[in-house]
Structure 1
Amino acid sequence: MLVRLFRPLAYIPLCVLQAAGIVLGWIAWWTSGTYRQRLDANSARAARFAGLDYIRLRKSSIAEHGKGAMELLAAWLRHAKDVAAMVKRVDGWEHVEAALAQPRPVIYVSPHLGAIEVCGIYISMNTPRIMAALYRPPKLKWLEPLMLASRDRERGRAAPANAQGVRLLLKTLKEKQSVYILPDQAPGGGEGVWAPFFGQKAYTMTLLPRIARNSDAIVLFCFAERLSWGRGYAMHIRPMQGEFTGDALADATVLNRNLELTILQAPTQYLWSYNRYKRPAGAPAPESE
């Protein structure tokens, strides 16, 4: 019912949706002290770490946060072929073709960077394999049916971030298919380790390195970058640098370093407002504390 209700809004021109998003981003920044402080602190930390212009990064990120929220209407509710058609340029697709030529599963790793839903749909629509996408249900429960409408279609399988979802990921990898994971959410206590991320320790998932090693999967990092003026998106795909060895801390460090390299391709489009450095319930304190 929600899908039918909101679908007409999804076909509002992308430039209009994103323009409204810029306004929304600034409203959120001015009206929510917690949101503002977190975005400011995380973007300042990244700017110091990478030698970026902090003022420019923060200002652009505020607008990009709002664009990301509004474009979800198009990504979730347009027909999959129409979402994929919004991608105007692809960089690194040869890595996907090389991976698919091997009899091994593929794990696509995409941080909260650019248009994460567009990225997953484009890959799913342009590869022949089933793709299971791990997701965490949104805090606003009424949004979950809209999210599932996007991820559980065509060759997609929606895998909730719980034991049932992990079993689906393992089954999909065993079948030599593909998995899509957003790795930069803080995992539950006992499901991660503290590893450096933009100069500060962040509680980092151990699931991704573990299943990648156990399944002998090829790991590719990817994201869909927003083009200016609502012109669509540019896909970026690259292979992982380094390898997972089975040591939890070393593997988490490799994962986060690859995330940093990916994010720094379009740093203004990263979700700096996310509480990446929180200590989840049940997690040990970082050694520095």
Structure 2
Amino acid sequence: MTRRPRNFNPFTMLALYRLVSGWPLGLLHAVGAALGWLAWLASPTYRRRFAENSSRAGYPFAQVRAAIAHAGRMATETPRLWFGPPVPVRWEGTELVDAAYAARRGVVFLTPHLGCFEITAQAVAARYHAEHGPITVLYRPARQPRLAAVVESARQREGLQTAPTTLAGVRQMIKALRAGQAVGLLPDQVPPEGMGLWTPFFGQDAYTMTLAARLLLQTGASPLLIWGERLARGHGFCVHVRALAEPLAGELEPAVAQINREMERLIRECPQQYLWGYGRYKTPRSGA
């Protein structure tokens, strides 16, 4: 793994993000596509992991090669989403969200590393916070304290709160759900050792977080699947909402396995925008 130089200054990155945050989304995506391919060409490890993960799911390279450019677009669209003017967003499935909020049990939004997952939380916050309160999103703080502060402040906005991957963060999410609010998390993110189960994902065991299932089972909240499709030529995003294919299992292990299957189902909707280079099958790091 490449180490950052000791004189790395996160505020330099912040200044660069602010500088490009006003660029047109189409331009940012064009730059990102080029950077995505450069990263793929420069890293044998990335190329190998990309090929292994996508073939494990049954996709030949020709079917998912577009995901290389989309990984770069994800990086370059972030400044616009954090600091720039609003981007166009359309919705599919708002009736599911309305019904989930109406149940008044809280809502757990689940999304894999698919498309633009930053836009999903922003879109929920913008559309629903005035009537139903903020959405609380789980995130893993950066290891460098100064960088963590920058990222956290960038993500904070009206109707959107963040919860770190700590016990305090979990309590924050439970409190939000019990107040009838929403939380969001990526259940295909590899958790620290002791916070997951080895469960099949595209046919191979992957260390999978139990938090999503625990939140749902403990609070009785309504689960919804959500992902943000990146539209062509910088035309914005489409937020897709889906219900579970069947009611959530009542026990932890089958519920975790079921959520994995639901993540697979979403990914198969648009495998060209999934992060196939993500280390989904890595051994978890020690320490919670």
TM-score, structure 2 normalization? 0.89
Asked if 2 retains the 8 angstrom alpha-carbon contact of 1:210 and 1:246, the reply is: no
1:6 corresponds in structure 2 to 17
> 1:156–1:138: structure 2 CA closer, same or farther, 3 Å change rule?
same
SS in 2 for 1:127: helix
> 1:163–1:197: structure 2 CA closer, same or farther, 3 Å change rule?
same
Q: How far apart, CA to CA, are the structure 1 residues paired with 2:106 and 2:81?
A: 26
Asked if 2 retains the 8 angstrom alpha-carbon contact of 1:90 and 1:236, the reply is: yes
**Can you list the C-alpha shifts for 1:146-189, whole angstroms capped at 9, x where unaligned?**
43234321021110111121111111112111101111111111
**Can you list the C-alpha shifts for 1:18-66, whole angstroms capped at 9, x where unaligned?**
10011101110111121121111111111x2xxx4x1223421111111
Alignment of 1:127-146 (within 5 A): 127-128=128-129, 129-138=133-142, 143-146=147-150
2:177 corresponds in structure 1 to 173
Q: How far apart, CA to CA, are the structure 2 residues paired with 1:35 and 1:63?
A: 13
2:7 corresponds in structure 1 to none
Do structure 1's residue 63 and structure 2's residue 69 form an aligned pair?
yes
Aligned-pair distance for 1:135?
0.2
Q: How far apart, CA to CA, are the structure 2 residues paired with 1:140 and 1:67?
A: 24
Q: How far apart, CA to CA, are the structure 2 residues paired with 1:222 and 1:104?
A: 18
SS in 1 for 2:188: coil
Q: How far apart, CA to CA, are the structure 1 residues paired with 2:146 and 2:39?
A: 20
Asked if 2 retains the 8 angstrom alpha-carbon contact of 1:194 and 1:249, the reply is: no
2:111 corresponds in structure 1 to 110
Asked if 2 retains the 8 angstrom alpha-carbon contact of 1:174 and 1:215, the reply is: yes
Asked if 2 retains the 8 angstrom alpha-carbon contact of 1:36 and 1:273, the reply is: yes
Q: Which sits farther off after the overlay, 106-115 or 6-15?
A: 6-15
Asked if 2 retains the 8 angstrom alpha-carbon contact of 1:112 and 1:184, the reply is: yes
**Can you list the C-alpha shifts for 1:121-162, whole angstroms capped at 9, x where unaligned?**
001110032111000124676653443234321021110111
Q: Give the root-mean-square deviation of aligned CA atoms.
A: 1.9
* Structure 1: tracts of 5 or more residues without a match: 284-289
Asked if 2 retains the 8 angstrom alpha-carbon contact of 1:242 and 1:254, the reply is: no
Asked if 1 retains the 8 angstrom alpha-carbon contact of 2:105 and 2:178, the reply is: no
- Residue 236 of structure 2, aligned match among 219, 226, 232: 232
Asked if 1 retains the 8 angstrom alpha-carbon contact of 2:201 and 2:260, the reply is: yes
Q: How far apart, CA to CA, are the structure 2 residues paired with 1:4 and 1:30?
A: 28
Q: How far apart, CA to CA, are the structure 1 residues paired with 2:194 and 2:55?
A: 29
Q: What is the identity percentage for the equivalent residue pairs of Structure 1 and Structure 2?
A: 38
2:99 corresponds in structure 1 to 98
> 1:4–1:21: structure 2 CA closer, same or farther, 3 Å change rule?
closer
Aligned-pair distance for 1:17?
0.4
Alignment of 1:130-279 (within 5 A): 130-138=134-142, 143-279=147-283
2:51 corresponds in structure 1 to 40
Q: How far apart, CA to CA, are the structure 2 residues paired with 1:218 and 1:166?
A: 17
Asked if 2 retains the 8 angstrom alpha-carbon contact of 1:43 and 1:57, the reply is: no
**Can you list the C-alpha shifts for 1:57-103, whole angstroms capped at 9, x where unaligned?**
34211111111111111111125xx1xx421x311111011112222
TM-score, structure 1 normalization? 0.88
Aligned-pair distance for 1:247?
2.6
Q: How far apart, CA to CA, are the structure 2 residues paired with 1:233 and 1:143?
A: 27
1:72 corresponds in structure 2 to 78
Q: How far apart, CA to CA, are the structure 1 residues paired with 2:16 and 2:282?
A: 36
Asked if 1 retains the 8 angstrom alpha-carbon contact of 2:51 and 2:61, the reply is: no
Q: How far apart, CA to CA, are the structure 1 residues paired with 2:126 and 2:29?
A: 24
2:125 corresponds in structure 1 to 124
> 1:93–1:112: structure 2 CA closer, same or farther, 3 Å change rule?
same
